[in-house]
Amino acid sequence: MPMLNIAPTTTIREVVDRYPGIQAVFRAHGLPCASCHVAAYESIMAGAALHRLQVGLLVDDLNAYARSGVVPEMRAAPAQKRPLSGGKLEARGIKHIVAVMSGKGGVGKSLVTGLLATALARAGYAVGVLDADITGPSVPRMFDVTDKAVMRDKRFDPALSPGGIKIMSISLLMANERDAVIWRGPMITGAIQQFFNDVHWGDLDYLLVDLPPGTSDAPLTVLQRLPVEGVVIVNTPQQLATAVVSKAIKLAQRMQVPILGIVENMAYVSVPGSDVPLEIFGPSQGPQLVAESGAPLLGRLPIDPALTVLVDSGRIEEYRTAAFAELAENFLREARRAGLPEPVAGGVAG
């Protein structure tokens, strides 16, 4: 029987069934569920996240056992674990962290994250994107990132977009990106923290964090644990969406994280032969959110079939329109006003 290449996304049950006695490695690392029913569908990374373990060390020791049949000397006993709860995590080499949130699903948070990352890269910044939407990742697809993340020195190397943007997402660890990630809340929050802690981000001017919908586990983890300096709120014109987005604004205010601005996505459609845009989802709700947040409206993005084609083909970095240029310029202005740095090279997206 060929040796199983044990990866973070390998299920615990698959490892235990293949290598009798390997439960000792799991237990030594402080992961006791290798023999329970949960292991039938839980991945190694999910278990490590739940129990706040360093997944890189655990995977290395599991592979060492698979090769030799000998339990290696444990380098990650419970007393030596890196804590994943408590105060703010250290931003090694990352100057500024901005989260993109909404509270509402389907409004285009990932799209706005991708556009802002593109704008920052064009302005000369070193940029990374942490895809914190663990159960619905979409960032790699829009940047045409297909290579899997590689573990080096117990940490992951992020993937690179064609434009040099560093990207980390759960889909870069999965054998099949279409597989469902069926994780409990603590696993998701642990994975987000590991994507921040256990990735070779290197020196970045900006790390953008694409948050999932809601105002509970994942957004709370990012705002509480990561040293986030500001958030960008994404909305669409529907009143129902605006009511939910208001909750995200209140969350950011309660967590005392500055709101850099509001982006209204799907704001209108440009009609050929007409100078009047068609607001198919109703009039702008931007003024209401500006009043609630005390932050400016950074831009109104239209429904643009050309952008849809670029995103679906992984070419978001090629997008250039007047609406995008306005968004980019306003975002960079507000970032500088909030104390974030000047571009290292001139020019903004256009």
Whether 350 is in a domain gets the answer no
Is residue 24 within 8 Å of 73, Cβ to Cβ? no
pTM summary value: 0.78
**The amino acid at 162:** P
Whether 66 is in a domain gets the answer yes
Quick one: 17 and 76 in the same domain? yes
Quick one: 120 and 62 in the same domain? no
Quick one: 57 and 128 in the same domain? no
Whether 327 is in a domain gets the answer yes
Decide: residue 339, CB within 10 A, 0-12 exposed, 13-18 middle, 19+ buried.
Answer: exposed
Short-list 112, 114, 107, 113, CA closest to 317: 114
Q: In CATH, what number is assigned to the domain containing residue 231?
A: 3.40.50.300
Quick one: 333 and 193 in the same domain? yes
Quick one: 69 and 197 in the same domain? no
Quick one: 99 and 242 in the same domain? yes
Token couple for 305: 């079939």
Whether 345 is in a domain gets the answer no
Taking the CA atoms of 197, 107, 326 and 292 in sequence, report the sign of the dihedral they define: negative
Whether 344 is in a domain gets the answer no
Quick one: 214 and 250 in the same domain? yes
Quick one: 61 and 140 in the same domain? no
Quick one: 172 and 287 in the same domain? yes
Whether 201 is in a domain gets the answer yes
Q: In CATH, what number is assigned to the domain containing residue 56?
A: 1.10.3910
Quick one: 49 and 122 in the same domain? no
Q: Which of 32, 50, 80 is the last residue of a domain?
A: 80
Write out the DSSP string of 275-314: SS-B-TT-S--HHHHHHHH---EEEE----HHHHHHHHTT
For residues 234 and 110, what is the distance between their CA atoms, to the nearest angstrom? 10
Buried-exposed string 210-249: b where 16+ CB fall within 10 A, e elsewhere: bbbbbbebbbebbbbbbebbbbbbbbbbbeebbebbbebb
Q: What is the DSSP letter of 7?
A: -
Strand stretches in 145-190, DSSP E: 150-152, 155-157, 159-160, 166-168
Strand stretches in 87-229, DSSP E: 94-101, 127-131, 150-152, 155-157, 159-160, 166-168, 204-210
Q: Which of 57, 80, 103 is the last residue of a domain?
A: 80
Quick one: 172 and 206 in the same domain? yes
Residues of the domain holding 149: 94-337
Short-list 221, 207, 190, 203, CA closest to 113: 207
Whether 133 is in a domain gets the answer yes
Tens of pLDDT along the chain (350 residues) come to 567 788 887 888 888 888 888 888 887 887 766 656 555 567 788 777 767 677 888 888 888 888 888 777 655 444 333 433 446 788 889 999 999 999 888 899 999 999 999 999 999 999 999 999 988 889 999 999 988 888 888 888 999 999 999 999 998 887 676 777 767 777 888 888 889 988 999 999 999 999 988 887 888 889 988 999 999 999 999 999 999 999 999 999 998 999 999 999 999 999 888 888 899 999 999 999 999 999 999 999 999 999 999 999 999 999 999 999 999 999 998 888 877 765 554 444 44
Whether 346 is in a domain gets the answer no
Q: Which of 30, 54, 80 is the last residue of a domain?
A: 80
Quick one: 122 and 16 in the same domain? no
Q: Looking at the 3D structure of the chain, how many domains does it have?
A: 2
